[in-house]
Structure 1
Amino acid sequence: MTRYAINGISLNADIQGNGFPLLLLHGFTGSSRTWQPHVSCWNPFFRTITVDLIGHGDSDSPHDADRYRMEACVADLLELMNQLQIDRFGLLGYSMGGRVALQLANAAPERVAALVLESASPGIADAAERKARIANDNALADRIERDGILPFIDYWQSIPLFQSQQKLPEDIRKGLREQRLRNSPAGLANSLRGMGTGMQSPLHDRLQELDMPVLLIAGEWDDKYVSIGHKMNNRLPRSRLEVVPNAGHTVHLEQPDVFDELVLEFFQSNIQGKRKGS
């Protein structure tokens, strides 16, 4: 892992493999470690860049919540790719990382050759719902800072969104919990305040402008994100939706072999043969 000085903070990133570059973005409470079990499948064909997003893993967790805003997060990632001298890349994001990936693709579509969104959304279209979500996220952020990381992770892993994770083998669940506990309370709290779903600009009316190939992935047990996936698929001009059987929100954990093959096939089909780093 290498730390990169990016716009006044340090981001932790790891680069492996060879070939056309893929930027991989984890979800809330995750880190670059999310993708460690998967990159071995992709690295024979692609160069993978896994990054700890601001407030997560070993990247910096500044105390200013505005520094976590989606626009700043996108600017950080583009600057990281600039420092790596990568002009165009494939992009994959899970959950919060999927929202970041979609915002990045909207901000710099000329740089994203192909896009994979796992259990992700374009934001919240209704203004009243956004306001309510902001209030809920701010209350949750206060709770993290008041009670600490351990009680929060106990709560977080018990929410209905992650119910299907209880079917995972014990060692997988233990590793996931350890990864979540590595994060700092300030980093998680300010991630909610700065780039929670309610804080970001909704992109529903911009999806039709994205002309890169897009793969949408959702687990069949995750009704909310299956529905969101269908709606996004109807708006994106060059997308396809894969609903993965016997999986919930974390398809990459619950059906890893299926997930790895879907991602590999999609990127090989859509960016195979492009020049390395171009």
Structure 2
Amino acid sequence: MASPFVLLHGFTQTGRSWDGVRRDLGDGVLAPDLRGHGAAAARRPIDTAHLVADVLEAAPDRFVLAGYSMGGRLALHVALAAPERVAALGLVSTTAGLPDPAERAARRAADDALAGDVERDGIDAFAERWGALPLWAGQPEAVRAVAHAERLRQDPAGLAASLRGFGTGAMVPVWDRLGELTMPAVVLAGARDAKFRAIGERLAAALPDGRLVVVDGAGHALALEAPATVAAALGALA
């Protein structure tokens, strides 16, 4: 029997961001809202330990784990905390963190400043600012509209707490522990997403049973831009 899937969304998203992928994967897919987002917007505290515990509490005994961006960073921590439960691992447009302490401190300060902005300016202004990032350059208009609508449904306080508690600057990097993750793993990156394509190459090389899939014509938000390709790559792990 194929293992069920647990899919972890990115920052400013909810579990519904995986809907296109879920349609192709079929039954047996769990895509929870993570602390600070959607139905879990008010859950506190937000930190690595509590996020990991939430996932492991909600997940079946053994499962295929996949995460996008922020969710991919969390997936790595979940897999390291309970490798015996993770049958396979999917990492979508993500990183194992910032290993340089100075770079991590600078990112933590930037995330804290952004958290203050969203608290002060509200969700509409933040959604416009976030949607204008170069990270989304070339994104199809329909995908941009879906992503923007999802951001507008978020709670400013939840997003601010997520940035402070599990932003890239707050997360402990795990590059030096990737060798512990011996389960089959697929790393996905969009061809237009040069930064995360390069990071994806490093991830796939560092994982003992990792392979890289570069998705032609796609950018960072792969679950929204190329759900069928993402589903096919994850489905091959089950």
Q: TM-score, normalised by structure 1?
A: 0.82
Query: Which whole-Å deviations, capped at 9, do the CAs of 1:154-197 have from their partners, x for residues lacking one?
Result: 000100111122xx143x33222111111100000000000011
Corresponding residue to 1:48 among 15, 24, 29: 29
Query: Which whole-Å deviations, capped at 9, do the CAs of 1:25-48 have from their partners, x for residues lacking one?
Result: 1100000110112212111xx500
Distance 2:76 2:52 in 1: 10
- Unaligned runs of 5+ residues in structure 2 are none
Q: Structure 2: which amino acid aligns with 1:136? A: A
Give yes or no for the alignment of 1:252 onto 2:223: yes
Alpha-carbon RMSD across the aligned residues, in angstroms, is 1.4
Give yes or no for the alignment of 1:120 onto 2:100: no
Corresponding residue to 2:58 among 56, 59, 80: 80
Corresponding residue to 1:71 among 42, 45, 49: 49
Q: Higher RCO, 1 or 2 (CA under 8 Å, sep at least 6)?
A: 2
Corresponding residue to 1:26 among 9, 13, 17: 9
The 3 A distance-change label for structure 1 pair 217 and 133 is: same
Corresponding residue to 2:72 among 98, 103, 113: 98
* 1:79 partner SS: helix
Corresponding residue to 1:177 among 128, 148, 153: 148
Query: Which whole-Å deviations, capped at 9, do the CAs of 1:96-145 have from their partners, x for residues lacking one?
Result: 00000011001111110000000010000000000000000000000000
Aligned-residue offset at 1:19:
5.4
- Greater Rg over alpha carbons, structure: 1
Q: Percent identity?
A: 45
Q: TM-score, normalised by structure 2?
A: 0.96
Q: Structure 1: which amino acid aligns with 2:78? A: L
Aligned-residue offset at 1:23:
0.4
Distance 1:59 1:52 in 2: 6
* 2:228 partner SS: helix
Preserved CA contact (<8 Å) 2:219 2:225: yes
Match of 2:199 in 1: 228
* 1:115 partner SS: strand
Preserved CA contact (<8 Å) 1:19 1:47: no
* 1:243 partner SS: strand
Q: Structure 2: which amino acid aligns with 1:57? A: G
Match of 2:157 in 1: 186
Distance 1:41 1:198 in 2: 34
Distance 2:223 2:54 in 1: 25
Distance 1:176 1:146 in 2: 22
Query: Which whole-Å deviations, capped at 9, do the CAs of 1:214-266 have from their partners, x for residues lacking one?
Result: 100001111111111111122110000011111111122222332222222x2
- Unaligned runs of 5+ residues in structure 1 are 1-17, 272-278
Preserved CA contact (<8 Å) 2:191 2:217: yes
Distance 2:225 2:18 in 1: 13
Match of 2:21 in 1: 38
Match of 1:205 in 2: 176
Q: Which has the higher strand share?
A: 1
Q: Structure 1: which amino acid aligns with 2:75? A: A
Preserved CA contact (<8 Å) 1:246 1:255: no
The aligned length equals 238
Match of 1:129 in 2: 103
Match of 2:82 in 1: 108
Distance 1:100 1:51 in 2: 13
